[in-house]
Structure 1
C-alpha cells in the first residue's frame, strides 16, 4: 500500500506511517489499532489527558514517565507503548491525537475500507454509530471505517467528511445559512 501521499505530509502522519509499517511487519495491525482507538477515545473524554499531552512545560523525562504510566493503565501492547515513548522522547506528545487519526486512515485503506470523519455535538451511542456505519457503507458500496469527534460548537446535528466530500447537517451551519439569508 502506498501511503506516501497526504498522510506522510504531516508530522503526525509520518509517525503514524512508521508505526503502521512496524505493525504490518509484525502482524500486529489489529492490536495496535485497538490500543490506539482506546487512547483516542480517552483523549476525547479526558481533559486531564488532553492537558498532559498539550503541556509545553512538560520535559521529555517527565513525558516518558507519564506515557509509561499510560501504557500500564491502558494495558498497551509493546509497539503502541514504544510509539508513545518515541513521541514523548521527541517532545511530540501533542501529535498523539492526529497520529491516532492518521493511523486509523492507514488501517482503513489497508483493509479496503473507505474512511469517514464524523463530528457530532455529543458522543454517539454504539447503536447510533452502527446505524451510521451501515448508512455510509450503503452509500459508498463498501465498508466504512468511522472516526468520531465530539465538538460542542456545532450545537447539534452531524458533519461527515469522506475524502473530499463534506456532508454538513450541523445546527451551527444551518443557523449561519439562515442568518446570511436574512441579511439579504
Structure 2
C-alpha cells in the first residue's frame, strides 16, 4: 500500500517524505526511526523542548543552535540531526510532531505493516503493547506498528485508529453516551 501521495498533501508530510527517502537511500530507516522515537518521547516529557519547537519568540538561528545541541546530547543519528537543522532554518520546527508521525507511517508501509494509533489515559507497559499488537494482528491479518499516545482526558480505556477505522472504548466516550441517553 503506497500512502506517500496522501502524506505529500501536507507540509509536514512533504518533509517526512524527504527524510524517509534520504534514510531509505542511505539504508538508515531504522536509525532515523529510533532517533525520531527518542525525540517524540523527549517532546512529550520536556515542556522546554516542546516550547523551543513551537515558540514564535525564538528566532530561527537560535532554534537551530538549540535543537542542534539537543540532538547532539541525545545522540541522534547524523541524518536526523541535519534534518532538524533544516526544519529550524526553514521555520518549520513546529511541525516536528506531524513529521515524526508521517515518517512512522512511511516506515511502517515500507516494512509491509499498517499503523495503529493507540491513545490511552496513561502510559502502557511493554506487555500491554505486545497484547494490543497481537490482538490487532489477529483482527487485521497483517503486522501492526503501534503509535502510542497518552491523553489523560479520555479518563480510561483506549482509542485505537487504523486508517479510517476507529475503536473508541474510552470512559469519556461512554460517559458522554450515557449523559446523552439520559437527556433523552
TM-score of the aligned structures, taking structure 2 as reference length: 0.96
Q: Which residue in the other structure is 1:103 paired with? A: 103
Distance 1:133 1:2, change over 3 A: closer
Give the deviation of 1:2 after TM superposition: 4.1
Q: CA offsets per residue over residues 53-78 of structure 1, 9 Å max, x none?
A: 11111101100111111111110111
Alignment of 1:34 onto 2:34: yes
How many residue pairs match? The answer is: 184
Tell me if the contact between 2:4 and 2:106 (Cα under 8 Å) persists in the aligned partners: no
Is it true that 1:22 corresponds to 2:22 in the alignment? Answer: yes
Instruction: Using the TM superposition, give the Cα deviation of residue 48 of structure 1 relative to its aligned residue in structure 2, in angstroms.
Output: 1.7
Structure 1 residue 63 corresponds to structure 2 residue 59: no
The answer for the alignment partner of 1:130 in structure 2 is 130
Whether the aligned pair in 2 keeps the contact of 1:114 and 1:140 (CA below 8 Å) is no
Unmatched 5+ residue regions in structure 1? none
Using the alignment, how far apart are the partners of 1:157 and 1:44 within structure 2?
A: 20
**Residues 148-174 of structure 1, C-alpha deviation per residue, up to 9 Å, x if partnerless?**
111111111100000010000011100
RMSD: 1.1
Is 1:13 aligned with 2:16? no
Does the Cα contact within 8 Å between 1:158 and 1:170 map onto a contact in 2? Answer: yes
Aligned equivalents of 2:79, 2:50: Cα separation in 1: 22
Q: Match of 1:139?
A: 139
Using the size of structure 1 for normalisation, the TM-score is: 0.96
Residue by residue over 1:37-64, the C-alpha shift from the partner in whole angstroms, topping out at 9 and shown as x without a partner, is: 1111111222221111111111011001
